[in-house]
Amino acid sequence: MPLSKKERKYTYADYLAFPDDERWEIIDGVPYMQSVPTWQHQRISGELFRQISNYLLHKACEVFASPFDLCLLNEEVKDEDVQNVYQPDLLVICDKSQLKGTGSFGVPRLVIEVTSPSTAKNDRLLKFNIYEKFGVKEFWIVEPDMKLVSVFILQDNNRYGRTELYTEKDQVKVSIFPDLVIDLNTVFDF
């Protein structure tokens, strides 16, 4: 389970002072220590990265894998005062001006979170709400134990629509790239 320090609101400036050999995220000013991912988690993340990266080769967008800071900020907040710093397993950036230092300051087009027992609650509740609020167009939650993918697509009302569920036998058409199809059989081949 992630450890949290709830005494005060933490920022990106605080995050940069955390030990380099630890994995942290800050959600609404609360830091959470992350556990080390399992080999299944890494296998899933790596295969998704491979399929997306191959598709994006020679295109304007780029996929990044954790460790990679995602800082979501309101326009009036300075970078160092950001209170939402994430380490999504994968994210797709289409605006290169968002890239700075250790990651991205801006809203990615796609975020993929691969759950673990220690992160599932934050992925499903806290991050879901934050990603929706900031306008992430497409958000995936991948559950290794159940070999299940939940896809959320931002609608015209700036809310995620009905969950689309996929199993290991399915292929997922990525809404932000209509000609990109992810083969989940390969993703969950372990």
**Percentage of the residues of the chain whose pLDDT score is greater than 70:** 97
Q: What is the pLDDT of residue 4?
A: 52
Q: Is 183 inside a domain boundary?
A: yes
Residue 131 has pLDDT above 70, yes or no: yes
Residue 9 lies in a domain: no
> Sheet containing 85-86: which strands, arranged edge to edge?
30-33, 24-27, 85-86, 69-71, 103-105, 99-100
Domain annotation covers residue 31: no
Predicted pLDDT at 21: 86
First-to-last alpha carbon distance for the chain, in angstroms, is 25
Nearest residue to 115 via CA among 30, 34, 16: 34
Judge whether 20 lies within some domain: no
Query: Which domain does 88 fall in, by range?
Result: 36-187
Q: What confidence category does residue 6 fall into, taking pLDDT thresholds of 50, 70 and 90?
A: low
* Domains of the chain: total: 1
1 pLDDT tier (thresholds 50, 70, 90): very low
Whether 92 and 85 have beta carbons less than 8 Å apart is answered as: no
Q: What is the CA radius of gyration of the chain?
A: 16
SS (H, E, C) 7-66: CCCCCHHHHHHCCCCCCEEEECCEEEECCCCCHHHHHHHHHHHHHHHHHHCCCCCEEEEC
Using CA atoms, how far residue 137 sits from 17, 157, 168, 182, 183, in Å, is 31, 12, 23, 17, 21
pLDDT in tens, 75-126: 777 878 888 899 999 999 999 999 998 899 999 999 999 998 888 888 898 8
Of 11-20, 138-147, 164-173, 174-183, which range is least confident?
11-20
Q: What is the CATH number of the domain that holds 108?
A: 3.90.1570.10
Q: Which two tokens mark 10?
A: 């933490």
More confident residue, 1 or 141: 141
Give the pLDDT band (50/70/90) at residue 8: confident
Q: Point out the least confidently predicted range of 6-15, 34-43, 81-90.
A: 6-15
Per-chain mean pLDDT for the chain: 92
Percent of the chain surpassing pLDDT 90? 74
Residue 22 within any structural domain of the chain: no
In a domain, 100, yes or no: yes
